[in-house]
């Protein structure tokens, strides 16, 4: 009897303690779900919509009647902004420019805080400013005819591979008769373009298999973890007991290929570097590193940081832009009239005698609108890269504590009926006024905003137009079996949203 009483008393004590902890929060913190044991409100988020965390946060915002959702994800106080206007305020607030120190960021950077994505403060400021300043000299973030020529040359090779058939064994994995395998088919121009920006080199066609392997491993990394680590970030010990289930092995495998790729490239650069001769960005970085170490004895510049900087710029290049174009191909299979309009515009503006270039972009508003509409319609990073609050801040009437995680729910912005009218419809015409592109109508933020704006926005927009327009000039696309496509494929929610790989039929347009 005494044992039973003790057991009941113990259970009651634990229940009361859990109940109090569930509703314990900061003063004037945004409302949200209770804090449950171990994972906090993350249990409730997953239960709401397992494979759509942005949708789950939006649903919970409606449930708690708030545009700013507050909760604890494990021990971490977290805020999700579900309102279009507030999202912009959040992104431009410098007190929200920090980064959360999670296992995902450490795993990919030798268990240090390195790179651009997951660093903040003085280190981030110096490294981001230097990389953007000197990458521009080699065509990143601006018009550069040399880079455009490289992109055109690489696109010609991919088109030739499709029309005339594979020359090398690895090409047979992506081209089989009149079928191409997406998204990796699109990888070569984007990755070689970024390699040219970083190192003034590109891999020739007989080495394209290295580019496709890089794209594959980057995709493995992107898909191995939902919500920037999810349970793995909240309970890092899962990497030791459930390395496959937690996504740890996939993250490590995918990331290691990129680290090895750029470690080898940086070593080759350092072994061949000449004094007073800057061949490319990598030379300029190594020169700066050596100067600071020589004159100051220490530096934020290092070989490891250079490898991570290259990796950070390559990650979206190797997956995100290909995913946008792959989704756009799928959309043309769902809505064939879009393909017809793109073809008509290309034939009218460019013809067939040359590939489209960036000078044509302003004369091809519908083609440009298709790319913009796809990035709105399919939000690649629904909750963005998590920010960290760097100082206690009052935000729209709520007190947000220092070191709180804060994220923007971009789906709320991109699917806001008050802004778009019919947001679920894929309608490129929404960006046009009298047949011309009207940028004032584009309220989307696929690259974020503020000081944490994606550094690769200009490169991505320019290269996607060049590759998409050139591809569509060359081919008509249809399903691999010739049957109409009725439904979009399921989305894979990882760090970014992707489609499953699939074959599509391409017919040369002559």
> Binding site membership for heme: which residues?
454
> Binding site membership: which residues?
454
Residue 318: name the closest of 387, 224, 390, 215 by CA.
215
Task: Determine contact, residues 407/81, Cβ cutoff 8 Å.
Answer: yes
Burial of 245 (0-12, 13-18, 19+ CB in 10 A): exposed
Q: What is the DSSP string of 178-205?
A: TEEEETGGGHHHHHHHHHHHHHS----G
For residues 253 and 256, what is the distance between their CA atoms, to the nearest angstrom?
A: 5
Query: Helix count (H) and strand count (E) of the chain?
Result: 19, 15
Q: Is 478 left (phi over 0), alpha (psi -120 to 50) or beta?
A: beta
For residues 490 and 45, what is the distance between their CA atoms, to the nearest angstrom?
A: 20
Q: What is the DSSP string of 280-310?
A: SHHHHHHHHHHHHHHHHS--S--HHHHHHHH
Q: Is 344 left (phi over 0), alpha (psi -120 to 50) or beta?
A: alpha
Phi, psi of 173 (to 5 degrees): -75, -20
For residues 374 and 324, what is the distance between their CA atoms, to the nearest angstrom?
A: 7
Rounded to a whole number of angstroms, the CA Rg of the chain reads 24
For residues 495 and 224, what is the distance between their CA atoms, to the nearest angstrom?
A: 8
For residues 24 and 405, what is the distance between their CA atoms, to the nearest angstrom?
A: 17
CA angle 126–410–463, rounded 5-degree value: 60
Reported for 39-46, long-range contacts at CB under 8 A and 24+ positions apart, including other chains, are: 39/73, 39/74, 39/231, 39/234, 39/235, 40/71, 40/72, 40/73, 40/74, 40/75, 40/76, 40/234, 41/71, 41/72, 41/73, 41/78, 42/73, 42/74, 42/230, 42/231, 42/234, 44/71, 45/71, 45/73
């Amino acid at each position: 009897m005494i044992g039973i009483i003790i057991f009941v008393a113990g259970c009651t004590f634990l229940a009361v303690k859990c109940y109090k902890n569930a509703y314990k929060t900061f003063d004037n913190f945004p409302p949200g779900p209770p804090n449950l044991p171990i994972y906090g409100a993350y249990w409730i988020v997953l239960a709401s919509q397992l494979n759509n965390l942005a949708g789950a946060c939006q649903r919970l915002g409606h449930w708690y009647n708030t545009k700013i959702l507050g909760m604890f994800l494990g021990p971490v106080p977290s805020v999700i902004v579900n309102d279009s206007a507030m999202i912009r305020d959040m992104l431009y607030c410098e007190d929200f420019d920090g980064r959360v120190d999670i296992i995902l960021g450490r795993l990919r950077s030798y268990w240090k805080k390195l790179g651009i994505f997951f660093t903040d403060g003085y280190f981030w400021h110096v490294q981001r400013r230097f990389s953007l300043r000197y990458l521009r000299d080699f065509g990143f973030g601006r018009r550069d005819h040399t880079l455009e020529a490289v992109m055109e040359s690489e696109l010609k090779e991919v088109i030739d591979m499709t029309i005339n058939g594979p020359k090398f064994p690895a090409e047979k994995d992506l081209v089989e008769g009149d079928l191409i395998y997406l998204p990796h088919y699109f990888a070569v121009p984007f990755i070689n373009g970024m390699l040219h920006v970083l190192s003034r080199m590109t891999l020739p066609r007989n080495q394209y298999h290295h580019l496709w392997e890089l794209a594959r491993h980057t995709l493995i990394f992107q898909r191995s973890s939902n919500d920037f680590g999810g349970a793995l970030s909240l309970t890092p010990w899962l990497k030791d007991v459930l390395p496959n289930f937690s996504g740890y092995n996939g993250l490590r495998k995918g990331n290691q290929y990129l680290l090895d790729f750029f470690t080898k490239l940086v070593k080759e650069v350092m072994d061949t570097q000449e004094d007073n001769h800057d061949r490319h960005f990598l030379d300029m970085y190594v020169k700066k590193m050596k100067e600071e170490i020589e004159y100051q004895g220490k530096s934020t510049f290092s070989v490891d940081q250079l490898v991570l900087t290259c990796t950070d710029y390559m990650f979206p290049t190797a997956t995100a832009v290909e995913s946008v174009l792959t989704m756009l191909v799928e959309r043309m299979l769902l809505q064939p009239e879009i393909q017809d309009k793109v073809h008509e515009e290309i034939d009218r503006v460019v013809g067939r005698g040359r590939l489209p270039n960036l000078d044509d972009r302003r004369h091809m508003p519908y083609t440009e609108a298709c790319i913009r509409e796809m990035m709105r319609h399919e939000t690649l990073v629904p909750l963005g890269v998590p920010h960290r609050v760097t100082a206690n801040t009052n935000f729209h009437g709520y007190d947000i504590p220092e070191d709180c995680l804060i994220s923007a729910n971009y789906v709320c912005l991109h699917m806001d009926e008050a802004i778009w009218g019919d947001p679920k419809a894929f309608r490129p015409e929404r960006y046009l006024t009298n047949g011309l592109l009207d940028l004032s109508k584009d309220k989307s933020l696929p690259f974020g905003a503020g000081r944490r704006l994606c550094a690769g926005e200009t490169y991505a927009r320019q290269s996607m137009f060049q590759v998409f327009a050139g591809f569509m000039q060359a081919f008509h696309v249809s399903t691999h079996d010739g049957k109409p496509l009725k439904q979009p494929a399921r989305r894979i929610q990882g760090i970014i949203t992707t489609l499953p790989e699939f074959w599509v039929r391409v017919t040369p347009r002559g």
